[in-house]
Structure 1
């Protein structure tokens, strides 16, 4: 009988034992967080009062922007009367220029709020440091507007029963009793797109000016504002539509005053609807 070697544990090729699983814990944010402020139905009227106060505080600057809005309305009216097929293209151009004009009014309100003197030159150039975010947001708005226009053409083609109207009898043709189905569908589709555009833009542009944020974050925050206060923001949207309708009823001249009023009031809508809270990880 031969001597037997003592038992030894079998060699292992597995290497060292793996470390225990550790779940990923994201770092604490140091970016201020947007907090939605509860709003009441009286708040939009307060924004209009504050907007009028800003207008009266810098009337020369406000009238400059008001005339710009009026000229845009005149161009749209002339194109509609003479070359209606180009209305959507001109409207897209106005949608490109309009937010930059509105940002100038926001800058006036921002400077007054900070105790600084409003300046026309500063309001005209305030967008230059936010051009990337503004450009992206305006691009999104233009895409939505073009989709809206395409959807309108489809609704016309499917539901309009009395032939495409001329520019002289468009209202009579549209509200012909034979086209009631068209009117209902057109209002429903237009309402969806209008709500989408409104929700995306209602506070996003003043937020870009105030916080120098990116377009996506601004648009998401704007949509959050609408969902957090749906009745108040719908009431605010109705007031905006009503005032624009009044301006149009005066052959566009009303935009000289209503344009600056709504611009300044929109800044106060943003300031009243969004409160910024420092993150726990901030220094």
Structure 2
């Protein structure tokens, strides 16, 4: 038996039981299930994937006229991606219930639990705004005026005080915020779509999933980062497939780890 159900013991919030999973091949199963969902809804999945990839490319590359804005949007994409992927969560939900995928169906759970999902979006927006300010401060401290352009900026990443200059503190601060968003988002939005859970219950459930399966969640986070990097280095071309794949797979993370 590779699953052990663990009931979180919280007095204020009644959370569902969380499955502790043994072994480290589970993310491959989630990816296969996500790929299967993409094959059921290729036009919608790849269509929305291409749309988000195009928007991401436009925003990031237009912002790269200012290096700080470009870096913030590129790194901040991972902070807001859990909300943007809501369409893929719901396409997988429809496929699970053998519904013909329709755009109108996606709006139903959003309307049914709009308040909680809206507060979740505001939470991610707040975290992103905090990252934007921290990013500006770090760039202001480490990058001089003659290094703001592309000619001098690569040197600024590695120069300055300390061996790694801006690169190390930027990675540490951005990484800590990314870990926070990941822990709050692993299953929270799929849960709000599926069970109409309130925001506090969904966020606490997500945190308990990470607490119950720390190594498995670390593996899943590294896979997400690796696939996202693939999307970035291909100028968002691969993101048209990567983004819906991660979104569909995230639905199966929720269904696999949160007791039904």
In structure 2, the residue matched to 1:261 is 245
In structure 2, the residue matched to 1:34 is 16
In structure 2, the residue matched to 1:209 is 193
- 8 Å CA contact 1:81–1:167 kept in 2: the answer is no
In structure 2, the residue matched to 1:152 is 135
Change (3 A) 1:176 1:166: same
Gaps of at least 5 residues in structure 1 are 1-28, 277-283
Shift of 1:85: 6.1
C-alpha distance in 2 between matches for 1:95 and 1:143: 14
Aligned-residue CA RMSD in angstroms? 3.0
Shift of 1:167: 4.2
Q: Does residue 105 of structure 2 align to residue 136 of structure 1?
A: no
C-alpha distance in 1 between matches for 2:165 and 2:71: 24
C-alpha distance in 2 between matches for 1:176 and 1:247: 28
Name the SS of the counterpart of 1:207 in structure 2: helix
Structure with higher helix content: 2
C-alpha distance in 2 between matches for 1:189 and 1:121: 39
C-alpha distance in 2 between matches for 1:270 and 1:206: 7
Deviations 1:26-46 (CA, angstroms, capped at 9, x unpaired): xxx9x9741111123211111
In structure 1, the residue matched to 2:209 is 225
In structure 2, the residue matched to 1:248 is 232
2:48 to 62, 65, 69: 65
Gaps of at least 5 residues in structure 2 are 1-10
Structure with higher Rg: it is 1
- TM score, norm. by length of structure 2: 0.82
In structure 2, the residue matched to 1:6 is none
Tell me whether 70-79 or 234-243 shows the greater mean CA deviation: 70-79
Change (3 A) 1:211 1:192: same
C-alpha distance in 2 between matches for 1:165 and 1:145: 25
Deviations 1:255-281 (CA, angstroms, capped at 9, x unpaired): 1111111110010111112114xxxxx
Shift of 1:94: 7.0
C-alpha distance in 1 between matches for 2:51 and 2:259: 32
Q: Does residue 156 of structure 2 align to residue 173 of structure 1?
A: yes
